[in-house]
Amino acid sequence: MLALVTDPSTFTELPYPARESVPDGPLAWQGYDAARARAVERTGETESVVCGTARVAGTQAVLIAFEFGFLGGSLGERTGDRLEAAHGHARAHRLPVVPLVATGGSRMQEGMLALTQLQRVARQSALTREAGLPQIAVLRDPTTGGGWATLGAGADVILALPGAQVGFAGSRVRPADADPTAYTAEAQVAAGAVDAVVPPAELRETLGSWLRLLSAPQRGAGLQHMRLRGVGATSHSGAADAIRPTAPPPAAPLPFALGTQELPTTGWDAVHRARSPQRPRAHAYLDAYFTRRVAIHGDRCGGTDTAGMVCGFGEHAGRTVAYAAQTGAPTRPAGYRTATRLVRLADRLGIPVLTLVDTPGAANDAEAERQGAGAAIAELFGAVAAARVPVTTLVIGEGGSGGALALAAAGNTWATPDSYFSVIAPEPAAAILKRPAEEVEATADQLRIRPQDLVELGVIRGIVGP
């Protein structure tokens, strides 16, 4: 596995802590020493993990490679020693950590002393997380038990090989009638627990892209403040003016200028333009802004919202920027949770965030309520508000109520000419006010939802063109 992901001749194994061994281990499990000896002879390794440093598509990292042939890749005390040393080396040298997981779980021959290694692993992972270093796991076949529940599922980004068995329950301890397809990498992607399934031939380059984006050496440059440029908006005094940021400046530049595009004349015109199928959507903006990008997938709570929210990291002008973008559909709870996951990860790694607002509002069906829509929106509001890195927002279409505002940066939100932002869409606003349908357009004007209205009201900082 190491040869598959590392650049040739770059792997250097780390030294391992010495541990005195008693006959047949801490439980005096009869035959344990003999089983370890056979595992050494069969695999050429002295434990179930090999830890070292190497370059992956040009980026230096600490790698933790499991050897499943050594007692099923199980975790014991010596495994814990090696994992702790690997994480310590990563923190000392500011390197990302890449677990290449293939394990059946904790080692029975060491009993509870083996199981408690999971706490030890979790502690080391938490320290590495606090140090602002990324952890990117690769799930191999099989990844089960405590190894999945710590090194695998606890990573910031999770990639998996096709067809890999992935699940907390191993094949011998599941219910007899359990659907085996639920315990696969593909099923975990569908459940939002894994970011992507990657074919072996693409693994080195994919892993290398993630490592370059999340641990790029120019992290300080990623926090530089740059300006958006927009013209043609109406200032509060009513004069045509160039819209310039005052404070704080945006997190990252957006390569769009307003040019000659006209602003909407009425509120209903703004709504009509924002709902037009011809206007640019999130993917068009992301393609224009980033030279390359990779996506995170799922909320880690059993849900995905690929139709309503796309999140990930990309490269712009040689630096990494995180993005969370609504796609124009109602956003579901899993979409908000995925965006929250993105913002918190970017904040921890010191990566600025770009958010694109485009939704008629949060999904409001019964299933969305059962999935915790209110709590999911609240978590995103909190993540954006608490972010220490710059967050820049561009409203590119519909800005429907709190379901859109949750993604918007207070004091650093911009809009395009074919967008609107409203406390509520004009149609339900008219319904609440018990107005007839013919008064919807007038209601849109009263709400003052055009981009230029939002500038005058101080809701947004300026207008930029698509």
Apex CA 51: angle with CA 48 and CA 55, to 5°?
140
Q: What's the pLDDT score for residue 177?
A: 84
CA distance 84 to 32: 23
The pLDDT tens digits for 29-44 are 999 999 999 999 999 9
Residues 338/383, Cβ–Cβ less than 8 Å:
no
Peptide bond into 99 cis (omega under 30): no
**Structure-block tokens of residue 87:** 């994480």
Helix 440-447 / helix 267-274 crossing angle, nearest 10 deg: 100
Helix 373-386 / helix 333-349 crossing angle, nearest 10 deg: 20
- Range 325-339 average pLDDT: 97
229-238, 339-348, 451-460: lowest mean pLDDT where?
229-238
Residues 267/420, Cβ–Cβ less than 8 Å:
yes
Share of the chain above pLDDT 70, in %: 90
Let me know if 314 is exposed, middle or buried by CB neighbors in 10 A (0-12, 13-18, 19+): buried
The pLDDT tens digits for 380-428 are 999 999 999 999 999 999 999 999 999 999 999 999 999 999 998 888 8
Beta strands in 19-58, from DSSP E residues, in sequence order: 49-56
CA distance 357 to 394: 6
Distance in angstroms between the alpha carbons of the first and the last residue of the chain: 45
Mean pLDDT, the chain, whole residue set: 89
Burial 390-425 (b: 16+ CB within 10 A, else e): bbbbbbbbbbbbebbbbbbbeebbbbbbbbbbbebb
The pLDDT tens digits for 234-284 are 333 332 232 333 334 444 444 444 445 789 999 999 999 999 999 999 999
The pLDDT tens digits for 142-156 are 999 999 999 999 999
H helix and E strand count, the chain: 17, 18
Full-prediction pTM beyond 0.85?
yes
Share of the chain above pLDDT 90, in %: 82
- Cα dist from 151 to 137, 158, 190, 219, 291, whole Å: 7, 10, 20, 25, 31
Helix/strand/coil percent split, the chain, to 5: 40, 20, 40
Q: Select from 147, 78, 84 the least CA-distant residue to 118.
A: 147
Amino acid identity, position 1 = M
**Structure-block tokens of residue 112:** 């509870």
Residues 78/19, Cβ–Cβ less than 8 Å:
yes
The pLDDT tens digits for 99-135 are 999 999 999 999 999 999 999 999 999 999 999 999 9
Amino acid identity, position 311 = C
